Amino acid sequence: MIDDRDWYTMDGDLVDLKTALIEATEEPGKIVVIGTDSQRYEKREDFVTVIVVRTPFKGGRVFYTRERDPKKYKLRDKLIKEAWLSIQTAWAISPILPDHCTLAALHADVNTDVKKGLSAKYMNEICGMITGCGFQVVTKPDGFAAQHVAEHLVKNRNDKYLESKRSGTKK
Helix (H, G, I), strand (E, B) or coil at 142: coil
Closest CA to 76 of 120, 122, 112, 39: 122
Contacts of 40 (CB under 8 A, 6+ apart): 46, 72, 73
User: Distance (Å, rounded) from C-alpha 38 to C-alpha 41?
Assistant: 10
CA angle 145, 60, 123 (to 5 degrees): 15
User: Distance (Å, rounded) from C-alpha 60 to C-alpha 46?
Assistant: 24
User: Distance (Å, rounded) from C-alpha 61 to C-alpha 54?
Assistant: 7
Please state which of the four CATH numbers 3.30.420, 2.40.50, 3.30.2000, 3.40.50 is assigned to the domain occupying 7-167.
Answer: 3.30.420
Helix (H, G, I), strand (E, B) or coil at 77: helix
Structural contact between residues 30 and 61, judged by C-beta atoms closer than 8 angstroms: no
Instruction: Answer whether residue 160 shows pLDDT above 90.
Output: no
pTM value is 0.90
Closest CA to 59 of 159, 157, 140, 144: 144
Q: What is the pLDDT of residues 70-128, one digit of tens each?
A: 998 999 999 999 999 999 999 999 999 999 998 999 999 999 888 888 999 999 999 99
Query: Which of 15-24, 90-99, 103-112, 151-160 is the least confident region?
Result: 151-160
pLDDT category at 51 given cuts 50, 70, 90 is: very high
Per-position DSSP letters for 113-139, written without gaps between them:
-GGG-GGGGGHHHHHHHHHHTT--EE-
